[in-house]
Structure 1
Amino acid sequence: MTEWLSRSERRPLVAGNWKMNGLRKDLAEADKICAATAAGEAGEAEVVLCLPATLLMAAVASCEAAGVGLGGQHCHGAPNGPFTGDVSAEMLKDAGASYVILGHSERRAGHNEGNASVREKTRAAFRAGLTAIVCVGETRAEREAGDAMAIVGSQLTGSVPGEATPETLVIAYEPVWAIGTGLTPTLKDIAEMHRFIRERLEADLSGVRDRIRILYGGSVKPSNAAELMRVPNVDGALVGGASLTARDFMGIASVYRDLRVAS
C-alpha cells in the first residue's frame, strides 16, 4: 500500500501553474491530465491545475469528473469594484476554482506585490472559500548573502494571516533563482528550508504546524521529482513549465503511486 501519510496525515499535493500560457485548444493537455489522474496515475496525491482565468470555466466539467482541482493564479483583495482588468476571489470561486496562487515571485517582483498586499489577497481567498497557495522564496543574491531564511521568514510572517488553517492555506517554497532556470538547491538546502518554514508556521500559527502542507517549486521535472518529493517536510510540488504537458506533469505526479514519503 502506498505510504504517503506523514505522522500528521498530510495529503500530498501536486499543483500545476500554467502562468500566462494556454488557449482553448491547449485544454486537450488538461483533459489528458484529468484522464491520467482518474486512472490513478497520481496515487493518493491531490492534483490541482492553476489555469489562466480565461480557461477555468471551460475546464470545470472534465476536472470535476476526474477529481482534479482548479485554481487561479492571482486575485484582487476586494470582492468587486472599479478595478479594471482584475479578478476577485469570488469570481474565481464562481468560475469553478477551489485554489488560488498568491505571492508568486513573478508577481512580487513584476507587480510590486509586497507582503501586506499578499496578506490582503490571502484573506480575500479565505473570504471566498478558496485555499490559498502562498509562495515564498529568496533570490540568489539573498541566499549567497546568508539571508535566505530571514527573507522567507519575513515573507511568511508578513503574508500569512493569523486565521489561516490547514484547510485554507498551503505554502509553496520556490527559490526565485531556481524558477525556470533548470537549477535546484541541494536536497539538504531544501530540507533545511522546509523544516524552517514548518517551525515558523508553528510560531506564527500555534497548533497547526504539522498539518499545513508545504510544497517545493523551482525547476521540478520528471527526472528529479522522486528525490525532491522524498525530502522531509516536502508535501508535494508547485510545477511551472512542466505542467503544460500531460506527459511531464504526470511524470511528476506519478511518483506518488508508490513513493514512501519521509515524515
Structure 2
Amino acid sequence: MRRMIIAGNWKMYKTLEETLVFFDELSSWEKDFRHENQILIFPPNLYTMSCLEKTRGNDIDIGVQNIYFKDFGAYTGEISPPMLTSIGCKYALVGHSERRHIFAENDEEINRKILSLLKHKKHIVFCVGEKENEREDGYTEQVLTNQLRYGLGDVGEKDMQQITIAYEPVWAIGTGKTATPEIAQDAHAFIRNWLKDNYSSHVANKARILYGGSVKVANCEGLLIQPDIDGALIGGASLKINDFIEIIKKGEEVANRKDQ
C-alpha cells in the first residue's frame, strides 16, 4: 500500500508568533499519536528554518512553497535547492496554480525547477489541475496531459521516486467548491494511467497522488477513501490546528481501512 500524505500549504498566512504556537501544539500532539501516514507542511518560506527547529524529534516534514531553478546568482527574492540543503530542508512544492496563474509560471519553468530539485536530491510535490472553463469545455484530460508531459520532461523513471503529484482543480482552490469524490477519483485514475503509459506499471503503482481543493474535515474521508487518492494537499483547513489534527486522524482511519 502507498503511504498516505496529509500535507498543508499555508500560502501567505500566519505571523511567526502564530506559526510557532501552531507547531508547539502540533508537535506536542504528534508525539503521543501513533501514525503511519506522512505529515508534511509548507509554511511561508521565511519561516522554514524555525519550523524545522520546532519539528526536530517529531515525525513531521517541512517544505518550501517555491524555489528558483538556478543554484546561485543575482536573482533578487529567490531561493535555491542548495539553500534548502544547507538548512536541512528536503521538500518543495512546485507548479501550484497560484504560481501558474498569478505569477505567470509556465510549464517550461516548472520543469526546470523540478529538474533542479531532482539534481539536489529533493522531494517534490508537483501540482497539476484544470480551470473551471477547461473542465466545462471538456478539456480536463488534455490540460492534465500537457502539464504532466511538459512538467516531467527529461524526468527519468528512477527520479519519479522523488515526485508526488497533487491534483488540484483550480476551480476548487479557495472557492469552497470541492470536486466530488467521483470527479476526483476519475482525475487521479487518469493521472495514474498516464504514468503507466509514459513510464511503467511500477511507477504508476508506486506514485502517490494527492487531492487538493477545499479539503475540510467534513469531506476528507470521502475523498481519501478513493482507490487512487493517496492523501491531501490542504489549504485553509491546515491553518487551523484542530481541523488539521482531525484530518490527520481521519487519514489514519482511512489508511487502515484501505490496508485491510
- Using the size of structure 2 for normalisation, the TM-score is 0.93
- Does residue 158 (structure 1) correspond to residue 150 (structure 2)? The answer is yes
Output aligned runs, 1:12-27, within 5 Å.
12-26=4-18, 27=20
Residue 221 of structure 2 corresponds to which residue in structure 1?
A: 226
Residue 189 of structure 1 corresponds to which residue in structure 2?
A: 183
Residue 85 of structure 2 corresponds to which residue in structure 1?
A: 93
Output aligned runs, 1:41-56, within 5 Å.
43-56=35-48
Output aligned runs, 1:108-127, within 5 Å.
108-127=100-119
CA change 1:230–1:262 in 2 (3 A) is farther
Count of aligned pairs: 254
Gaps of 5+ in 2: none
Shift of 1:262: 7.6
* In 2: Cα distance, 1:255 partner to 1:74 partner: 28
Compare the two structures and name the one with the higher helix fraction: 2
Partner of 1:66: helix, strand, or coil?
coil
Larger RCO of the pair (alpha carbons < 8 Å, separation 6+): 1
* In 2: Cα distance, 1:228 partner to 1:139 partner: 20
Structure 1, residues 154-190: CA drift from partner, whole Å, max 9, x if none? 1011101422534310000000000011111121111
Q: Any conservation in 2 of the 1:232–1:262 contact (CA below 8 Å)?
A: no
* In 2: Cα distance, 1:47 partner to 1:142 partner: 32
Gaps of 5+ in 1: 1-8
Q: Any conservation in 1 of the 2:210–2:233 contact (CA below 8 Å)?
A: yes
Q: Any conservation in 1 of the 2:4–2:38 contact (CA below 8 Å)?
A: yes
Output aligned runs, 1:1-263, within 5 Å.
9-26=1-18, 27-40=20-33, 43-161=35-153, 162-163=155-156, 165-206=159-200, 207-259=202-254, 260-261=257-258
Structure 1, residues 183-228: CA drift from partner, whole Å, max 9, x if none? 1112111111100000111222223111010000000011111111
Q: Any conservation in 1 of the 2:231–2:251 contact (CA below 8 Å)?
A: no
Identity, % of aligned positions: 34
After superposition, the CA RMSD in angstroms is 1.6
* In 1: Cα distance, 2:109 partner to 2:63 partner: 19
